[in-house]
Amino acid sequence: MSDDKTTHFGYQTVPEADKAERVRGVFDSVATRYDLMNDLMSLGIHRLWKRFAVQLTGVRAGQHVLDLASGTGDLAARLAGLAGPDGLVVMSDINAAMLARGRDRMLDGGRAGNVRYAQVDAEALPFPDGSFDCVTIGFGLRNVTRKECALAEMHRVLRPGGRALVLEFSRPTTAPLRAVYDLYSFQVLPRLGRLVASDAASYRYLAESIRMHPDQQTLKEMMEGVGFERCDVHNLTGGVVAVHRGFKL
- Check residues 148 and 112 and name the one with the higher pLDDT: 148
195 inside domain: no
Predicted pLDDT of residue 127: 98
Give a yes or no: residue 177 inside a domain. Answer: no
Residue 121 lies inside a defined structural domain of this protein: yes
Using pLDDT thresholds of 50, 70 and 90, give the confidence band for residue 150: very high
Q: Is 241 part of a structural domain of the chain?
A: yes
| pLDDT number for residue 1 | 39
Task: CATH number of the domain at 73, please.
Answer: 3.40.50.150
Is residue 233 in some structural domain?
A: yes
Burial string for 192-224 (b: 16+ CB within 10 Å, else e) reads: bbeeebebeebbbbbbbbbbebbebeebbebbe
| Domain span including residue 47 | 6-172+206-247
Report the pLDDT value the prediction gives residue 70, as an integer from 0 to 100: 95
Per-residue pLDDT tens for 107-137?
888 877 899 999 999 999 999 999 999 999 9
How many domains in the chain?
1
Check pLDDT > 80 for residue 176: yes
| Domain-located, residue 17 | yes
The verdict on residue 92 lying in a domain is yes
pLDDT at 2: 42
pTM: 0.90
| Amino acid present at 219 | L
In a domain, 140, yes or no: yes
